Amino acid sequence: MSQPLWLWIIAIPMAFVTSLLVKRALQAKTPADNDVVLYLLITMASMFGGAVIYFLSPSVVSIVEAVAFNAVLMTGGAIFILHRWTEGSLDEEIGKITVAPSQGAASDVVADATTHDAGTLRVGTRAAVISLILLNEFLMGWAFVLASGSFTTASGSSAQAALSTFSRVVGSDWFIFTMVLEMIFSVYMLRKNLPKSFFLIVIGQSIVMFFAPTALNSANWVTYSIYLGSVAMIGLLIYMYEYLFKNKIVTSAIRGYFLALLALYAMMMAGIFVWIIQGSALVFVLSIVGEMILYFNLILSKGSIESSKSRSWLTDPWWVFGFMTMTFVAEYFMGALIDMQYYGTGFITGISLAPISGSIVTQIGAVFYDFIIYFGSVTGSAWFLIMMGVEMGALVVFKIMITRELETKIRLVLVIAAYFIYSIFLPSFVFSSSIASIPFLGWSMGVGTAGAVAPVFLGAILGTYLITGVLSFLFGARQTCSVFCTAALMYQGTFPDSMSAFNRTSKLGRKLLTSRMSNLYKIVSSIAIVSIIIAAIASYLNSVGIISFTFFGTDIVFFLYIFYFNFLWYIIFISIPFVGTYGCVTTGYCHIGLFNQFVSRIGLFRLKVKDPTQCVNCETKDCAKACPVGLTDLPGNFIKSGQFRSHKCIGVGDCVSACPYENEYFYDVRGWLREKLGIKGSNKHGQPHLPVIGSPVQAEQFAGREANAKT
């Protein structure tokens, strides 16, 4: 039998036994039961510790040392526990189980000889159990790495050697795969202790952990584990987003768990990135250890998961900000890792950076330049966008499933199609070399998108503004902001959409409400427009040789594009809790958006209501509440003129879907043509409705009276 095989024959039962001990700890009926669990864990640790002593230097002497080590630890543990029993202090110190208020969930947790629905081990006992599990795994992993002959002693100082050994062992298949097995065994054994959603989250976590690239010494494993691990993590993130969308009220323990898990995933992805670039797995393995602590703490404290204080996560902007930031960091490094697998490590190591030298101003400029270029190289890459697209696109699919309006459903399908075809597939995989010569496609975000404002590209650039301008005139700015722009996909899924509440609750968000151009809006939009115009002129003059000006070798308008859309855009996105959703529209910082929005304002697009009287009698004003841009002046305009036109309206359509009376509808070139040609539309597309008054129930009654009157 090969060596690894017999080692696995030991490792798998050990994982099972450890899981049984975890279950046993949680089901302890008496304090003595807890001691038995701790003692067995100590015994296992001493056994593997002895094996490590032997394998570090196999000889008769080391066998004797190992046996002695075992005997001392096991006997010492037994004496200590016997002493505690005879002292009678056990109840107070380690064996006692505190009982959390029952939430009514079925549970097999038993405490202090009494059956309870939910229990949680006392912190000290929990910490002891978790520490011993980790120690066991570490010693077993170390012993097995040594036994399988794949361990080489690190050079350097003893501290460096210790860290290297720690990284090597925790990053090994013996530690990681065994931990995965323990997670699966224990979560299955204790499944009744966890809400179903958490059971699935833990299964997702174990799959993510299984695809640890450090686990196997194989280039193929590294590549496929990064791809498959990313897929698993994206799936888990989607599940968590949807969980939060469906459960606005969550306990503080769940919020804490989600935040800690995302922070560990951010660390994990950054750790793999560092490991691939520099060879050090320390950050990665620390994230693995952190994840195990988080997991076992969850399993051993089920009571607090369900019984801790509950509140809406939408009332905790700092938590949401932390969650969004950690998610973004994890995704950033995930995108970089996939890019490196697809294009080669040179994708990152080959990024041309400015040297940090010269005057202090030059050095500050170089640091800024390097940071933005490094950041933007990943966020602007095809694989980062694909990864984000899959994640946020899934949330858009969920949104389609709950959207009422056919027009909005169709638009959301177009959003997904535009994201993948228009923003990724065509520019990155089909036209990548000639993209700058193609209007609309090459310059999707206006000047700067595809490079310098050089004479050779003027036709493509002007063509872009012409095409997008005509489309905005006919259909409104929604053709850009709610279909073609990647922002549409990012903002319109279920989870981001639910955060539109921050437009009304955050201090800054409230300042940006309504169609009004606040001072802040005027300042931000002016800076955006002026900066892009100056940069475009400088870029042109530089291209024709009149001036010689670049920013550390990069065309100034191209750099500005990277800064605005590959960096600042994401900062605004993760700042939703403080800015609200669609910060790009509400602050006016996006120049191409501004262009389309102002063309739209003078174009044919607007929102109309079939009956303004209905808006007068409407008590809920759901349209205003639903708007993700925060256009709370919708009802007032409907009442006043029966329509709503605003440069900030990007036609998302949530207001149309939200109107309980189906009173509101879109109007654009199609409605205009119908009017001009005298074609009567359906009720949903322009045909004035019979006036209905009050609630939907009254509306039905009214419709009934109408029907009776006709018969």
Q: Which residues contribute to the site for ligand SF4 (CB under 6 A)? A: 480-481, 485, 487, 584-585, 590, 592-593, 609, 614-615, 618, 621-623, 635, 638, 659, 661, 663-664
Task: Report, in Å, the least distance between residue 447 CB and ligand SF4.
Answer: 13
Residue (574 or 592) nearer to ligand SF4, CB: 592
Task: Report, in Å, the least distance between residue 383 CB and ligand SF4.
Answer: 21
Residue (494 or 525) nearer to ligand SF4, CB: 525
- Dihedral of CA atoms 27, 33, 38, 40 in degrees, nearest 10, equals -100
Task: Report, in Å, the least distance between residue 487 CB and ligand SF4.
Answer: 4
End-to-end CA distance of the chain: 88
Tell me the torsion sign for CA atoms 109, 112, 116, 120: negative
Beta carbons of 388 and 423 less than 8 angstroms apart:
no
Task: Report, in Å, the least distance between residue 251 CB and ligand SF4.
Answer: 34
Q: How far apart are CA 485 and CA 548, in angstroms?
A: 33
Residue (11 or 485) nearer to ligand SF4, CB: 485
Task: Report, in Å, the least distance between residue 680 CB and ligand SF4.
Answer: 22
> Rounded to the nearest 5 degrees, what angle is found at the Cα of 556, between the Cα atoms of 553 and 561?
120
Task: Report, in Å, the least distance between residue 609 CB and ligand SF4.
Answer: 5
Task: Report, in Å, the least distance between residue 444 CB and ligand SF4.
Answer: 9
Write 632-635 long-range contacts (CB < 8 A, 24+). Answer: 632/504, 632/513, 632/514, 633/514, 633/515, 633/516, 634/607
Residue (77 or 651) nearer to ligand SF4, CB: 651
Residue (340 or 623) nearer to ligand SF4, CB: 623
Q: How far apart are CA 370 and CA 351, in angstroms?
A: 9
Number of H helices, E strands in the chain: 35, 9
Task: Report, in Å, the least distance between residue 704 CB and ligand SF4.
Answer: 20
Task: Report, in Å, the least distance between residue 689 CB and ligand SF4.
Answer: 11
Beta carbons of 309 and 251 less than 8 angstroms apart:
yes
Number of CB atoms found within 10 A of residue 708's CB: 8
Residue (4 or 636) nearer to ligand SF4, CB: 636
Task: Report, in Å, the least distance between residue 488 CB and ligand SF4.
Answer: 6
The CA-atom distances, in angstroms, between 146 and each of 52, 151, 196, 709 are 8, 5, 39, 90
> Interhelix angle for 173-189 vs 158-170, to 10°?
50
| Residue least distant from ligand SF4 (Cβ) | 593
Residue (195 or 691) nearer to ligand SF4, CB: 691
Residue (322 or 393) nearer to ligand SF4, CB: 393
Task: Report, in Å, the least distance between residue 463 CB and ligand SF4.
Answer: 18
Per-residue HEC secondary structure of 432-496 comes to CCCHHHCCCCCCCCCCCCCCCCCHHHHHHHHHHHHHHHHHHHHHCCHHHHHHHCHHHHHHCCHHH
Residue (40 or 584) nearer to ligand SF4, CB: 584
Q: Which residues of 489-518 are buried (b: 16+ CB within 10 A; e: fewer)?
A: bbbbbbbbbbbbbbbeebebbebbbbbeee
Beta carbons of 638 and 671 less than 8 angstroms apart:
no
Number of CB atoms found within 10 A of residue 311's CB: 14
Residue (49 or 612) nearer to ligand SF4, CB: 612
Residue (142 or 595) nearer to ligand SF4, CB: 595
